[in-house]
Structure 1
Amino acid sequence: MPQLPDIVPNPLALVAARWTPSPAAVRRATLAALVMSVVIVVTGGAVRLTASGLGCPTWPTCSGDSLLGTREMGIHHTIEISNRMLTYVLCAAVGWAIVAVRAMEPRRTGLYRLAWAQFWVVVANAVWGGITVLTKLNPYVVSFHFLLSAALVTVAVLTWQRVAEGDASPRPLVGKPVRQLGQLLTAAAAALIVVGTLVSGAGPHPGESSGRYKVQRIGVDWKTVAQLHADVAWVVVGLTAALWFVLRAVDAPVGPQRRTRDLFLVLMGQGVIGYVQYFTHLPAALVDLHMFGACLVWIAVLRVLLSFRERPLAEPGTADAAAVPLPAAGAASAAAEGAGVR
């Protein structure tokens, strides 16, 4: 009796049998998925900041039985439905990354699972976006919607990074205390993002201004939460500066040093935007730019953390890449650990 795969072939397997993309092509595909994961954050912010969050008052349809609604529903409807349609573009980018990773030779199961994880996070966030509409933009629901977007960015960064690496076990390039400092920096940056969502939930941009719907806000003074957000931001800046000095002191490989420097520069730019928007009473354009900056900060933090280890490609004919000689960066790390940096 024929099996189901014999009757209905796996389309991804069919593509893989006829096309083998270059590593550069796979890298571009995963980068496109990462870029779209940031774009959807920015456009989603624009929906709220233009008071278009309920431009389509229902979900999954836009109004009643209509999937797209009508032009007569106004500019807020146009903005909201455009953002919903961009979700399909995001799905296409993630789908292309999945196809490209599946068609790689040799096949990389772990990377393939990461690529699919992006798709499932997109689906979860789309459903949660519908819940934000059905709950009339409950600020806590909206905040979690952004956190799910941050999760998508995280998986997209990991997928993009892993394309350029091998599948061997990771080897540290810096000592354990440096890695722990990087983990503390990552935790502080995550806390910064969470507090930032609370500022948005308490701030003057509820996402709907027609007056037809009562949009709940978080019941705290947004300026107080903004001050807490700024305090956490300074903690992140301080940890970043400390990490950079430590990396210099232990003569760490150039990769972690450069990525820490890049993070510091991104934080400085984000800080300027944050203070300007605060003292100008949160103009919508600057708030959306600040959301874009938040994505860049998180990506930079992840890249710092990922730069602390390497996963070299296995040599042909070897079962594990552990047999590959240490490159210069790995040798520097070994020397640092031998000097007492554990």
Structure 2
Amino acid sequence: MISPFSLLADRWHPTAAHVRRAALAALVMSVVIVATGGAVRLTASGLGCTTWPRCTAESLTPTPAMGIHGVIEFTNRMLTYVLCAAVGWAILAARAHKPWRRSLTRLGWVQFWLVMSNAVIGGITVLTGLNPYVVAVHMVSAMALVWVAVLTWERSKEGDAAPRPLVAAPIVRLSYVLVSVVGLLVVAGTLVTGAGHHPGAPGKDGKPVWRIPLDYDRLAQAHADLVFLSVGLTLAAVLVFAAVKAPTAARARVRELLVLLLAQGVLGFVQYFTDAPEAMVLLHMTGAALIFGAAVRIPLALRSRTAETVVDVPAPAQLANH
């Protein structure tokens, strides 16, 4: 069946390196959108645009009367289009590559629909006056996008054969447990945010932004407990991976995760005892995306796929000379 994608694939043949660059661009933008979303909240610009999908009931873009908050919120919305462009590039590159990377194309479309769903969730956060539970779902959805983007990038460096485990099954299960605990750590962080400082805006219609009705200090303690558990599991993984002589990439990745967790833990404690200054919270949110992405990469280094066969397609000028 002829489609615009198949027509493009007949005329454009990106290299394997091009596909990897496209997948990396989508990953970078998925982390950037987490950071800029945090900047919107930390500058109290969450309601800079008072409605969605338009910025105001009368205007698609912010008006001068809305000030800097409208500009910040609208800029974050526009960055979603940059993210879509990066994801689109990854989809098209995977589709046009010879041979067709069907698995990468599917993962690219998963990223696209995650972006679309997160845009809708972002709109709901505005329409609900920054309901903290919806904001938490917004962050979790963004982390799901990071997860799939990491998986796409790693898969772009592999072939499409069935995965072959490089270590015993219990070691693989340990890596999955580690990813799950880090995921819980991220979710707990969204609840701490929802109950604590920086609601995202002064409020709507003169009412303050509603916060999660749970004790902030207890949520922070639960979050800290998950930090200790994550660090402990990561340290155990470092020792176990060394003992069983796990692949070099897996050992390097688990050490990287340990360094990121320790740095994030220090930042979190300083943030808590200094009343959560905005700059530190922004670093903490960006660090959460990096940590989750680093954790996701660990199980991927514990299996192998047959390297892809790169087919060099001659350019039309080269064909004419033969």
Q: TM-score range by the shorter chain?
A: over 0.9
The reply to whether residue 216 of structure 1 matches residue 215 of structure 2 is no
The reply to whether residue 93 of structure 1 matches residue 86 of structure 2 is yes
Pick the aligned partner of 1:239 from 233, 242, 246: 233
3-state SS, counterpart of residue 10 of structure 2 = helix
Cα displacement (A) at 1:251: 1.8
Tell me, in whole angstroms, the C-alpha distance in 2 between the residues paired with 1:110 and 1:277: 41
Contact 1:58 1:64 in 2 (8 A): yes
- Aligned counterpart, 1:257: 251
Contact 2:179 2:296 in 1 (8 A): yes
Cα displacement (A) at 1:34: 0.4
Cα displacement (A) at 1:273: 1.1
Q: Provide TM-score, normalisation by structure 1.
A: 0.88
- Aligned counterpart, 2:190: 197
3-state SS, counterpart of residue 67 of structure 1 = coil
Q: Which runs of 5+ in 1 are unaligned?
A: 317-342
Tell me, in whole angstroms, the C-alpha distance in 2 between the residues paired with 1:189 and 1:210: 32
CA RMSD of aligned residues (A): 1.4
Contact 2:94 2:102 in 1 (8 A): no
Tell me, in whole angstroms, the C-alpha distance in 2 between the residues paired with 1:169 and 1:21: 24
Tell me, in whole angstroms, the C-alpha distance in 2 between the residues paired with 1:90 and 1:179: 32
Q: What are the superposed Cα offsets for residues 221-251 of structure 1, whole Å, 9 maximum, x if unpaired?
A: 2122111101101100000000110111112
1:137 maps to a residue whose letter is L
Contact 1:47 1:80 in 2 (8 A): yes
Residue identity over aligned pairs, in percent, reads 57
Pick the aligned partner of 1:163 from 156, 161, 182: 156
Tell me, in whole angstroms, the C-alpha distance in 1 between the residues paired with 2:106 and 2:245: 36
Tell me, in whole angstroms, the C-alpha distance in 2 between the residues paired with 1:33 and 1:84: 17
3-state SS, counterpart of residue 142 of structure 2 = helix
Contact 2:35 2:286 in 1 (8 A): yes
Tell me, in whole angstroms, the C-alpha distance in 2 between the residues paired with 1:94 and 1:315: 24
Tell me, in whole angstroms, the C-alpha distance in 2 between the residues paired with 1:33 and 1:255: 22
Which runs of structure 2 are paired with 1:263-342 in the superposition (5 Å)?
263-313=257-307
- Aligned counterpart, 1:187: 180
Tell me, in whole angstroms, the C-alpha distance in 1 between the residues paired with 2:294 and 2:203: 38
3-state SS, counterpart of residue 74 of structure 1 = helix
Tell me, in whole angstroms, the C-alpha distance in 2 between the residues paired with 1:197 and 1:41: 13
Pick the aligned partner of 2:100 from 84, 102, 107: 107
- Aligned counterpart, 1:30: 23
Which runs of structure 2 are paired with 1:120-135 in the superposition (5 Å)?
120-135=113-128
Question: Kindly tell me: are residues 302 and 272 of structure 1, through their superposed partners in 2, closer, same or farther at Cα, counting changes over 3 Å?
Answer: same
Tell me, in whole angstroms, the C-alpha distance in 1 between the residues paired with 2:247 and 2:186: 29
- Aligned counterpart, 2:315: none
Tell me, in whole angstroms, the C-alpha distance in 2 between the residues paired with 1:89 and 1:163: 21
Cα displacement (A) at 1:252: 1.8
Tell me, in whole angstroms, the C-alpha distance in 1 between the residues paired with 2:248 and 2:156: 21
Cα displacement (A) at 1:271: 1.1
- Aligned counterpart, 1:207: 200
The reply to whether residue 82 of structure 1 matches residue 75 of structure 2 is yes
3-state SS, counterpart of residue 48 of structure 2 = coil
Contact 1:136 1:213 in 2 (8 A): no
3-state SS, counterpart of residue 230 of structure 1 = helix
1:75 maps to a residue whose letter is I
1:238 maps to a residue whose letter is G
Tell me, in whole angstroms, the C-alpha distance in 2 between the residues paired with 1:275 and 1:116: 38
Tell me, in whole angstroms, the C-alpha distance in 1 between the residues paired with 2:309 and 2:20: 21
Cα displacement (A) at 1:210: 5.5
Contact 2:38 2:285 in 1 (8 A): yes
The reply to whether residue 42 of structure 1 matches residue 24 of structure 2 is no
3-state SS, counterpart of residue 30 of structure 2 = helix
Contact 1:44 1:83 in 2 (8 A): yes
Number of residues of Structure 1 aligned to a counterpart in Structure 2: 309
Q: What are the superposed Cα offsets for residues 247-297 of structure 1, whole Å, 9 maximum, x if unpaired?
A: 111122211111111111111111121111111110111101100000110
Query: Could you tell which deviates more after superposition, 244-253 or 136-145?
Result: 244-253
Contact 1:136 1:214 in 2 (8 A): no
Cα displacement (A) at 1:186: 1.1
